[in-house]
Amino acid sequence: QFAQCLVRNCREDDIVARFGGEEFIILLRAETEPEALATAERLRSWVAAREFVLDGHVVHITASFGVARAEDAASIDRALHASDLALYRAKEAGRNQVCAYDAEIDGVAGVSGPPGGIAPRLSGPSESKAPGRRLGDQSGDLPGSAAAAR
């Protein structure tokens, strides 16, 4: 349900993918940092206000978002690592938060990314609305922003 909600609330050219158990990534095409932060805040607020049904019970959940610009990193792995650092800072701030990557606070992105790169951490194809697009098809360039949500 959560992934479907993210897909429905993103643009057609954005890519939403499950990145692990409770972690999702969203690649926002050609957005400035303020636009990416506004998108993440809109999604965070929407998730917090929504009721989800789990095993027949209505539950309320929250989501934290970390946002990084493509200019913050030289490759998709590094951009995702930067957004992950911002995500951990959002969770440390009390969860249900949106934080932008800040090299001075979070350190230099990409010094050590996920082992083996991004492909081994994906659990299946992307949830993109664009037919046939897979996250692994992306070149090293990432025009826009990456957001990690958990």
Q: State the CATH number of the domain containing residue 75.
A: 3.30.70.270
Which one of the listed residues 12, 22, 33, 35 is annotated catalytic? 22
- Alpha helices by DSSP H, 27-141: 33-49, 76-92, 103-106
Q: Per-residue pLDDT tens for 50-94?
A: 999 989 999 999 999 999 887 655 677 788 888 899 999 999 999
- Domain range for 107 is 2-149
Give yes or no: 22 in active site: yes
Q: 131: pLDDT confidence band, cut at 50, 70 and 90?
A: very low
Backbone phi, psi, residue 25, to 5°: -120, 150
CB 144 within 8 A of CB 70: yes
Does the reported pTM lie above 0.85? no
Which residue in the block uniquely carries the two structure tokens 């082992």?
115
Instruction: Measure the CA–CA gap between 87 and 68, rounded to whole angstroms.
Output: 10
Name the domain count of the chain: 1
Instruction: Measure the CA–CA gap between 4 and 31, rounded to whole angstroms.
Output: 22
Residues 6 or more apart whose Cβ sits within 8 Å of residue 37: 67, 98, 100
